Amino acid sequence: MDRKISLSGIKPDGTVHLGNYLGMIRPALALAEEYQALYFIADAHALNQVHKGEDLNRWTYEVAAVWLAFGMDPQQVVFFRQSDIPEIFELTVILAASTSKGLMNRAHAYKDATEKNLSAGRDPDAGINMGLYTYPILMAADILLYGSHVVPVGKDQVQHVEIAADIAGTFNHLYDETFVIPEALVRPEVAIVPGLDGRKMSKSYDNVIPVFAPADEIRKRVMNIVTDSRPKEEPKDPDTDILFNIYRLIAITDETEFMRDMYLRGRFGYGEVKQALFEVLERTFGEKRKLYDSYLRDRKQLDLILQEGAQKARAIGNSIITKARQAVGFRR
pLDDT at position 233 is 85
pLDDT at position 307 is 98
305 lies in the same domain as 267: no
pLDDT at position 1 is 45
Scored b (16 or more CB within 10 A) or e, 75-97 reads eebbbbbbbbbebbebbbebbee
CB neighbours of residue 45 within 10 Å: 22
**How many CA atoms lie less than 13 Å away from 77 in the CB half-sphere?**
25
Question: Quick check: is 255 in a domain?
Answer: yes
Query: Which CATH number does the domain housing residue 257 bear?
Result: 1.10.240.10
Region class of 184: left (phi > 0), else alpha (psi between -120 and 50), else beta = beta
67 lies in the same domain as 140: yes
Question: Quick check: is 203 in a domain?
Answer: no
80 lies in the same domain as 219: no
Question: Quick check: is 311 in a domain?
Answer: yes
73 lies in the same domain as 184: yes
The parent domain of residue 232 ranges over 212-293
CA distances from 70 to 135, 210, 285 (A): 28, 14, 9
18 lies in the same domain as 92: yes
Q: What is the mean pLDDT of each run of 10 residues along the chain (332 residues)?
A: 87 91 88 94 95 96 96 96 98 97 95 95 95 96 97 85 97 95 81 88 92 95 93 89 94 95 89 96 96 96 98 97 96 68
Tally of structural domains, the chain: 2
185 lies in the same domain as 58: yes
Question: Quick check: is 286 in a domain?
Answer: yes
Residue type, 280: V
Q: Give this prediction's pTM.
A: 0.90
CB neighbours of residue 29 within 10 Å: 19
pLDDT at position 189 is 58
178 lies in the same domain as 76: yes
- The set of residues, in sequence order, having a beta carbon less than 8 Å from that of 259 and lying 6+ positions away, is 238, 244, 247, 248, 251, 268, 273, 276
Query: Which CATH number does the domain housing residue 312 bear?
Result: 3.40.50.620
Question: Quick check: is 198 in a domain?
Answer: no
34 lies in the same domain as 140: yes
40 lies in the same domain as 183: yes
177 lies in the same domain as 107: yes
Question: Quick check: is 324 in a domain?
Answer: yes
- Measured CA to CA, the distance from residue 128 to residue 137 in angstroms comes to 16
96 lies in the same domain as 66: yes
pLDDT at position 192 is 77
Question: Quick check: is 197 in a domain?
Answer: no
66 lies in the same domain as 15: yes
- Measured CA to CA, the distance from residue 166 to residue 144 in angstroms comes to 11
Question: Quick check: is 29 in a domain?
Answer: yes
